[in-house]
Amino acid sequence: MSSLNLNVDVNQNGDIKKADTLDDIDDIDFSKLLEKPRPLNIERLRSLDERSLTELSGSPQLRNADNASRVHDHADYVASPSVGRRSGFNTPRSVHGFESHPMVGEAWDALRRSMVYFRGQPVGTIAAVDNSEEKLNYDQVFVRDFVPSALAFLMNGEPDIVRNFLLKTLRLQSWEKKIDRFQLGEGVMPASFKVFHDPVRNYETLVADFGESAIGRVAPVDSGFWWIILLRAYTKSTGDSSLADMPECQKGIRLILSLCLSEGFDTFPTLLCADGCCMIDRRMGVYGYPIEIQALFFMALRCALLVLKHDGEGKEMVEQIVKRLHALSYHMRSYFWLDLKQLNDIYRYKTEEYSHTAVNKFNVIPDSLPEWIFDFMPSHGGFFIGNVSPARMDFRWFALGNCIAILSSMATPEQSTAIMDLIESRWEELVGEMPLKVCYPAIESHEWRIVTGCDPKNTRWSYHNGGSWPVLLWLLTAACIKTGRPQIARRAIEVAEARLHKDNWPEYYDGKLGRYVGKQSRKCQTWSIAGYLVAKMMLEDPSHVGMVALEEDKQMKPVMRRSNSWTC
């Protein structure tokens, strides 16, 4: 096992003390950050979120390695959350006593009960506090599961647990990772970790899972992306860039992205993945180029631009990121987008076209269009479909990928509006009696047997196969606020509040409308609790959305094709 050479004190047991570069939060004068000279000599000082990738790639930051200062991003569409700002909710750390739903206090109590400590310091939250079921791996800290918990703590002015989590998982990244006799890439982040306590020696260690213990041995492709996104959220929320500036964090970002940006046989800028590589971590036909991974990849690339130093090794990585973002945004907006006009075009496709002038570039057979899509597609609205590869389009709706597409600005403003239009038009199908469908529609009968391998957990309208997941509430709320449609989020939260606490915070709901608590759903599921809290806090203070949302890059021009869901 290799050890990470952090700029911190590490004792013989591997315990990490506070980094020298991380001062006490309360003692930092963050106003000095605003006084740092900007490296770009331009007429109007714009944030990195607003500057184009083209402009960035030709800037003095990339041409001159001596100019190492980085522009700190400020989302222009919402005000930055103030440093140390706490939620207005009536929680132990609140200062305003905001009158809120009685569920909020109960949710905070439940969230704090899920906190995990390592040698006296909080390092995360376990997946579920449900002692009525076999624990399996629900007593571990999952990288993706902790994200809504981390955002809740950041919004409530409690950044320490998030900083500790980022540092501990960074340390785990440096471990030697083997599955059977195969060694994983250096940049792979763990899917989860657990604190192991030896009562005899009174000694605590971290035990990480990189996929070698996971059900089905699925690869945690999304973990590294969530880590980068959370690092940027931490920096944005606290105003403290010292963590991201640590050489170890800079190296961690580069290692994660090196796995994705290396050259190979790919003919597309999207990432090729195996099944079960993300939140949908079982066999569900998402192999290939799943929308969730592409959207997270896009967002992680944009977040990396904001936290990477643009000198030395960082400069070369930034240049690769800029090129990939241009190609990826064009590919996703062109080939993954579906609205009524595009659906009609695919319906009329000719096949077996050859040459670069082909319209049906992936040779999709029109007869493969599923019948449900014609009725599901509204006159005004659209979404990014689940997967696109040679001769294959997965037309299913996936909530996480479409929400992240909005937050990362992978979707154009017009496409973002169309996604919101679709959710409103298909409220019964996608929200129903509990937000939000992880995917739609469910697969069943013979297709279910072939695609899932007769998975008894993913039967129709259950779990990942059309189940309703309350955790997605925070992503929906953030997307609604970013698109100026908070009333949609408010309506969805009211639907959730009618049952979520009464049902003891289930992991997911079953049924076409999400009416039934899932047949294998854990109770007191941490990210269901945290997702609700984050959604409520964002509605209370929309500036919190700036932690997880990026403004559109002006140079990533939308596809010129017009559609019925776009307005002039």
pLDDT of res. 555: 65
In terms of Cα–Cα distance, which of 541, 526, 480, 550 is closest to 86? 541
List, for residues 111-123, the tens digit of each pLDDT value: 999 999 999 999 9
pLDDT of res. 316: 92
CA distance 259 to 252: 11
Phi, psi of 61 (to 5 degrees): -60, -35
Three-state SS string over 31-84 comes to HHHHCCCCCCCCCCCCCCCCCCHHHHHCCHHHHCCCCCCCCCCCCCCCCCCCCC
DSSP string of 217-269, one letter each residue: G---HHHHHHHHHHHHHHHHHH---HHHHSHHHHHHHHHHHHHHHS--S-SSS
Phi, psi of 169 (to 5 degrees): -70, -30
What number of other Cβ atoms are within 10 A of residue 153's Cβ?
A: 28
CA distance 473 to 357: 42
Angular region, 276: left φ>0, alpha ψ -120 to 50, beta rest:
left
Angular region, 366: left φ>0, alpha ψ -120 to 50, beta rest:
alpha
HSE, CB side, 13 Å, CA atoms: give it for residue 30: 18
- Burial class from Cβ neighbours inside 10 Å (0-12, 13-18, 19+) for residue 438 reads buried
Q: Is 89 helix (H, G, I), strand (E, B) or coil?
A: strand
Q: What is the pLDDT along the chain (568 residues), one digit of tens a residue?
A: 443 433 333 333 334 333 433 333 333 333 333 333 333 332 333 333 434 444 444 444 333 433 333 333 433 334 444 444 454 444 444 434 344 788 999 999 999 999 999 999 999 999 999 877 777 789 999 999 999 999 999 999 999 999 999 999 999 998 888 888 888 889 999 999 999 999 899 899 999 999 888 888 888 899 999 999 999 999 999 999 999 999 999 999 999 999 999 888 889 999 999 999 999 999 999 999 999 999 999 999 999 999 999 888 889 999 999 999 999 999 999 999 999 999 999 999 999 989 888 999 999 999 999 999 999 999 999 999 999 999 999 999 999 999 999 999 999 999 999 999 999 999 999 999 999 999 999 999 999 999 999 999 999 999 999 999 999 999 999 999 999 999 999 999 999 999 999 999 999 999 999 999 999 999 999 999 999 999 999 999 999 999 999 998 766 654 444 444 444 3
In terms of Cα–Cα distance, which of 386, 416, 400, 381 is closest to 550? 416
pLDDT of res. 170: 97
pTM of structure: 0.83
pLDDT of res. 214: 83
DSSP 8-state class, residue 332: I
List, for residues 313-335, the tens digit of each pLDDT value: 889 999 999 999 999 999 999 99
Q: Is 535 helix (H, G, I), strand (E, B) or coil?
A: helix
In terms of Cα–Cα distance, which of 206, 215, 553, 223 is closest to 413? 553
CATH of domain 113-547: 1.50.10.10
Q: How far is CA 2 from CA 5, 12, 174, 227, 346, in A?
A: 9, 14, 6, 21, 52
CA distance 357 to 377: 28
pLDDT of res. 556: 63
